[in-house]
A = this chain, B = another copy of it.
């Protein structure tokens, strides 16, 4: 559906505005679907991503700033996000011995089990939501987004 029809504007948008509005709208549309998917597991996307980052560390714990720089959306408050994961039992936090300003955050067995359950669900979701795009389409979209940010 054309973006002009979605936001019900009579006048055609200038090309650059149309692309930006479409980008914002589509991101919202995707996020809605992701949230619906994750709601069943009582976790938010940022929380899920932190778990994935920690698992990617292969048992080497990460500190807060490492997590922050790897997040898709830059978090203003990673402390409280980690707090929530701790309350759920998915991660643990210990103060770094070598530098007591730092904290070391690592995934628990419970967190790993959770990921083992939810990761395939998300992978399946990603495939479903992009099913209308061919491999070339996906590559092209990826390149255009990179180019936009250049």
Contact = CB atoms under 8 A, between A and B. Distances in A.
Interface of A: 1-3, 7-11, 14-31, 56, 69-74, 123, 126-127, 129-130, 132-133, 135, 137-142, 144-150
B9 A73 contact: no
A114 to B, nearest CB: 19
Nearest to A122: B17
**Binding site secondary structure of chain A:** helix
A2 B150 CA distance: 10
Contacts of A144: 133, 137, 140-141, 144
B142 A14 contact: no
Contacts of A21: 72
Indicate how many identical chains form the complex: 2
Given A10-B56, A56-B10, A73 B25 contact: yes
Contacts of A150: 1, 132
A12 to B, nearest CB: 12
A10 B23 CA distance: 27
Q: What are the 7 closest A-B residue pairs judged by CB atoms, nearest first?
A: A27-B27, A16-B130, A16-B126, A26-B145, A141-B144, A28-B73, A22-B145
B69 A25 contact: no
